Homo-oligomer: A and B are copies of this chain.
Amino acid sequence: MKISVLGVGCTKFAELWDKGLHDLIAQAQFEALDDAAISPAQIDAIFVGNMLAQQFNGQAHLGAIAAQQLGINVPSVRVENACASGSSALVCGVQAVLSGGADVVMVIGVEKMSDVAISQATSALMGAGDYQSEHFAGATFPGLFAMVTRLYMQKYKLTSQKLSQELAAVSIKNHNNAVLNPLAQFNKKITLEDYLKSPVVADPLRLLDCAPISDGAAAIIISSYDFAKKYKKNGINVIASAQATDTLDLASREEITSFKATKIAGEKAFEMAGITHRDINVAEVHDAFSMAEIIALEDLGFFEKGKAGFETAMGRTQINGDLPVNISGGLKAKGHPVGASGISQVTEVVNQLLGRCGQRQVKNARYGLTHNIGGIGTTAVVHIFERE
């Protein structure tokens, strides 16, 4: 498959008290339009990734907001897959183009989370897991991910200290990357000392292992390869768009230190793209918790099982390493407005391939990968982009 990227846009991620859902969507969508240098009338369909607006903002039907703001009457829809909502919206957008029903498609991700109390947000986010068996029993996402982390520690015989160093390496790298990203929620370098001083949220996970509550939106405009060829070509293509599903609850799985959905989606994506993980020059992977980045890098085949934390601590995923990961700052430090995160990963990778990332630019990147999960690896979405 080959679908072209015409343009991208992304708001600042932060607690944006002066912006509502409409504003966030508008900023991302008009930035993407400007970037693509096309008019709203050229858009054939709209997909909006969002998880929580109905509950947090009293607002469903976000596709219609996006269409109304462009003054167009094209098909529009909201897509939800918990924290993978944005990427799943892109999967649907890619399908719309491949179906022949739409030539140019706008995909937006948005979330406005700061209007509710943190406790409400933590509870609502459990909608991504199984209500019956997990939420109802009192589980939270940090709690569930802490269980995954404990088992990982045991399985790979890591001491507490070693585990801490590896988790810290992820968090420190992503925070340090975010300092160079003007759109990031956090712009402060952190040290191992800061990490170790941060409070334990769910043992062994600390505050600095957990992505924040954020507001933000991101957008991408894609088109058929033919449209881009005729119209204007920046040379960036989506060459893989793959998704898979694991069980909603953790208890039903044979294995929780590796996520089957990521493995399936990753393998399928590399097959679609006709490349291997060795070809990837820059990646944005799902680091809602530091542990999640470690597991993702292993499941995608970049590192051996049990080794990604060590390799991270060795600097292999830093901007000057052999596989720069989460150069945007990741969900941890760029921020995690859940429905927007997947599309924000994509805007970063596209900008990296286009050489637009200033001080955090990865050199000569040709292939970029994004990996976004919903729930504890229940949904996994992998996209691969190329610069021609």
Binding site for B on A (CB under 8 A): 20, 22, 46, 51-55, 57-61, 63-65, 67-68, 72-82, 88, 91-92, 94-101, 123-124, 126-132, 135, 242-249, 252, 260-261, 264, 374-375, 378-379
Contact = CB atoms under 8 A, between A and B. Distances in A.
B95 A99 contact: yes
Contact of A244 (B58, B75, B135, B260): B75
B61 A375 contact: yes
Contacts of A261: 73
Contacts of A378: 61, 64
A330 B100 CA distance: 33
6 contacts: A54-B55, A55-B55, A61-B80, A64-B374, A65-B248, A76-B81
Query: Which of A46, A248, A375 counts the most B-chain CB atoms under 10 A from its CB?
Result: A248
A61 B95 contact: no
Contacts of A55: 54-55
A61 to B, nearest CB: 5
B52 A127 contact: no
Contacts of A101: 95, 98
A166 B382 CA distance: 53
Contacts of A252: 68
A374 B63 CA distance: 11
Contacts of A58: 123-124, 126-127, 131, 135
Contacts of A129: 61
A140 to B, nearest CB: 13
Contacts of A245: 46, 63-64, 67-68, 72-76
Main SS of chain A's interface residues?
mixed
B80 A379 contact: no
Copies in the complex: 2
A127 B54 contact: yes
Contacts of A60: 51-52, 80, 82, 127-128
A261 B75 CA distance: 9
Nearest to A99: B98
B61 A379 contact: yes
Contact of A92 (B67, B72, B95, B131): B95
A75 B269 CA distance: 13
A28 to B, nearest CB: 17
Contacts of A80: 54, 60-61, 77-80
Contacts of A374: 61, 64
Query: Which of A95, A245, A252 counts the most B-chain CB atoms under 10 A from its CB?
Result: A245
Contacts of A52: 54, 60
Contacts of A264: 73
Nearest to A88: B77
A363 to B, nearest CB: 34
A47 B76 CA distance: 16
Nearest to A128: B61
A20 B133 CA distance: 13
Nearest to A126: B58
Contacts of A64: 81, 245-248, 374-375, 378-379
A59 B99 contact: no
A379 B101 CA distance: 18
Query: Which of A64, A72, A96 counts the most B-chain CB atoms under 10 A from its CB?
Result: A64
A330 B188 CA distance: 58
A340 B74 CA distance: 23
Given A55-B54, A98-B99, A132 B22 contact: yes
Query: Which of A57, A65, A260 counts the most B-chain CB atoms under 10 A from its CB?
Result: A65
